[in-house]
Structure 1
Amino acid sequence: MTTSSPPPSATFMEMRAVLARLPGPDEAARAKVRLRQADLTKPPGSLGRLEEITEWLAAWQGSSEPRCRRPRVCVFAGSHGVVARGVSAYPADVNTQMVQNFVSGGAAINQLTAAIDGDLRVYEMDLAHPVGDFTQGPAMDEARCARAMAYGMMAAETGIDVLCLGEMGIGNTTSAAALCLALLGGQAEDWVGPGTGVAGAALERKIETVRLGVERHRAVLDDPLQVLAALGGEELAAICGAILAARMGRIPVLLDGYASTAAAAVLQAVDPHALDHCLVAHRSAEPAHAALCARLGQKPLLDLGMRLGEASGAALAVSLLKAACACLDGMATFNRAGVSGPV
């Protein structure tokens, strides 16, 4: 399904107000799940991260019976003016072409969503009007960025068990790298990778583009939302909005790869606990993603050498959530199974 209706109006003041009242985890639900895990027919902790997943789901769903029956997969598609600088191996026309591929069911994410019995939504973010080249000025003004965030918030509807967030946007790993450099420091080379497959002179142009962009907007680097507007894209802003709405609606979030995680980093720069309801689904093959995850305190669930985007890694990780819930729900306790517990 594609959603392309006009985004609602919003302001950064409204977004900051949401960030100021983010709900915390349900620790009672987490504790109940932890107690049940200890009573199941297995050595303590032997299911490793599957046990952590059920506790995390319980805390953020607010239920001692976590579930993963209704996953939603969201792909936000945006267009970047910085592509004109030759930072990608593909032309900007691919954005519209890929959205049509999603709609017709021909993309990888269509197959992966079907495999988890998920609900795929594709959100087209004004592809006919790319955000600006951030080396020449802000990618977006505050109004456009806040509208994109508000648009993303519409993805977190009542009844969803987990929200998988991904993107499509030629040039957005350039924006992602610029966001990381602006928010986390270092050198442009630390955050820039091949993206769609650039190398040699094209990779050098990409590095220089990120360096120039962050230098141009140095005056706003102390305000993460202004950094998002100056260097980001509409699809990255929408991911931020979806993360916030999911938190308010008690919906756990799976983040996809480098671009999605870079977008989320904006929120963590505002509030160190803004991503507590999020897990990074997989470690992207984009070289800087591992460093970004480490800086955010995230340990990706999967590492399959993927770098596709499209929420592909997030959709795959849903299978782990389903497996974790199945073990919690279906395993017998020591008493029920007649198995001797630990001595």
Structure 2
Amino acid sequence: MNSRPAPLTEPPIDNEVAAARPSWPEVHPTPHLQLDLMVQHHLNGPTESEQAFGHVEALVRQLAAIQHTDQGLQNIRFEAPQLVVFAADHGIADEGVSTFPQETTRQRALALLTGKSHVNALADLHGFAVTLVDAGVGSHIQLPPDTEASVPLLLRKIGYGTRNMVITQAMSVAQARAAIEAGMDVARHLPGNVVALSNIGVAGNASAAQLLSRLCGVPLADACGKDQAEDEVGAQRKLERLFAAASRHRKATKPLDVLAAMGGFEIAMLCGAILQAASERRVVLLDGFVAGAAALVARALVPAVADYLVFAQRSAEPGHRLLLIHMQASPLLDMNLRTGQGVGALLAWPLLLAAQRLIER
């Protein structure tokens, strides 16, 4: 039985008012041939072979292009790096598509909030400020008595978890837009020029698989894959429920409609944070499959955002590899990670510091 509180109700949307809302932020493409040649010459010089630094050279070029708007090659600067973790629950968890109970979302959020997560230790190591955003957790996140929060909690709850996409739309289009705008607002108020983005949420991978399948034309069986912790029966049941949801929402093809039909509140807010951060020419460091799915939506809305995305790692989730192929992205790490919350982004951070140092030599 579903014990989750009912989704927050929303007022009727006036179509004229909705149409008058501002469009997505403007994002300027970064490719700059002359700057690329400068970076290549700086790294390789007369003694190294072409592309001696491989993917690291590509990373240096990307970082330089994000930060440099003129003709000259300057040092790369990282200021006040931020990690933002968006937490939300998914109604499709009621269909048994995850190996974890839904309560795990709240428990993981509390661990991060109280400084007991591995993410907190890695963030302290690398000097990242951490923010947890309640985008739509299925219950209230309440600290135990006499416990102080180690990181700030932003309450941006759109609802107490999305609805079950097997039965109906996960959210309305108005809710999806509101979540995107909330994510934009979160990013807008962050200091610094580097934003690492990740998520917490049971069944988030199921939503990510649906978005990958619908937006990129990937067969759902490939986008979903089989989790290492699942048995064959569980994997088959999950795939059947995802096929049922995909069939119900087969008419949803536009990015915002697909997000509303089969996405999650945290995915929508991640999308908004990506859009806003890219419009401010920040480095956007993405961690994991769910954040990658949000990037698919953001790219579909504003294609130029792809220039600002650094994919920290390729996770063990089968669909993540296919997502990266469709994004034409090379992840910095491939360590078979099965955790989110920003772990992969923080593990990859030293590679960005190395890229910074290579320009300074």
Name the structure 2 match of 1:316.
Answer: 347
Match of 1:89 among 61, 83, 99: 99
Superposed displacement of residue 147, structure 1: 1.6
Q: What TM-score comes out, normalization by structure 1 length?
A: 0.85
- Give the length in aligned residue pairs: 321
Name the structure 1 match of 2:142.
Answer: none
Say if 2:198 is the partner of 1:193.
no
Amino acid at match of 2:242: V
Q: Deviations over 1:280-311 (max 9, x none)?
A: 11111111211111111111111011020112
Name the structure 2 match of 1:337.
Answer: none
Contact 2:27-2:302 at 8 Å conserved across structures: no
- Please, which runs of 5 or more residues in structure 1 have no aligned partner? 1-5, 332-343
Q: Deviations over 1:41-100 (max 9, x none)?
A: 755532222222222112112363212343211111011111111111111111111111
Superposed displacement of residue 161, structure 1: 2.7
Contact 1:188-1:208 at 8 Å conserved across structures: no
Say if 2:75 is the partner of 1:65.
yes
Superposed displacement of residue 165, structure 1: 1.0
Contact 1:71-1:318 at 8 Å conserved across structures: no
- Please, which runs of 5 or more residues in structure 2 have no aligned partner? 1-7, 140-159
Contact 1:90-1:196 at 8 Å conserved across structures: no
Say if 2:54 is the partner of 1:54.
no
Q: Name the stretch that deviates more: 126-135 or 199-208.
A: 199-208
Match of 1:77 among 87, 94, 109: 87
Name the structure 1 match of 2:114.
Answer: 104
Cα separation, partners in 2 of 1:237 and 1:40, compared to 1, 3 Å: farther
Counterparts of 1:1-343 in structure 2, within 5 Å, are 17-18=23-24, 21-25=26-30, 27=32, 32-39=38-45, 44-62=50-68, 64-127=74-137, 128=139, 129-153=160-184, 154-157=186-189, 159-195=191-227, 197-221=229-253, 223-329=254-360, 331=361
Amino acid at match of 1:152: G
Q: Matched residue of 1:18: which SS?
A: coil
Q: Matched residue of 1:253: which SS?
A: strand
Superposed displacement of residue 194, structure 1: 4.2
Structure 1 moving runs of 4+ over 6 Å = 9-12
Q: Deviations over 1:134-188 (max 9, x none)?
A: 1111101122111211221122546423211111100111111111121122432
Name the structure 2 match of 1:336.
Answer: none
Q: Deviations over 1:248-289 (max 9, x none)?
A: 110011111111111211223344433121021111111121
Cα separation, partners in 2 of 1:14 and 1:287, compared to 1, 3 Å: farther
Distance 2:190 2:83 in 1: 14
Cα RMSD after superposing both structures:
2.6
Q: What TM-score comes out, normalization by structure 2 length?
A: 0.81
Distance 2:269 2:126 in 1: 24
Contact 1:179-1:227 at 8 Å conserved across structures: yes
Distance 1:320 1:12 in 2: 43
Contact 2:82-2:190 at 8 Å conserved across structures: no
Distance 1:308 1:41 in 2: 41
Distance 2:19 2:94 in 1: 32
Cα separation, partners in 2 of 1:261 and 1:209, compared to 1, 3 Å: same
Amino acid at match of 2:29: G
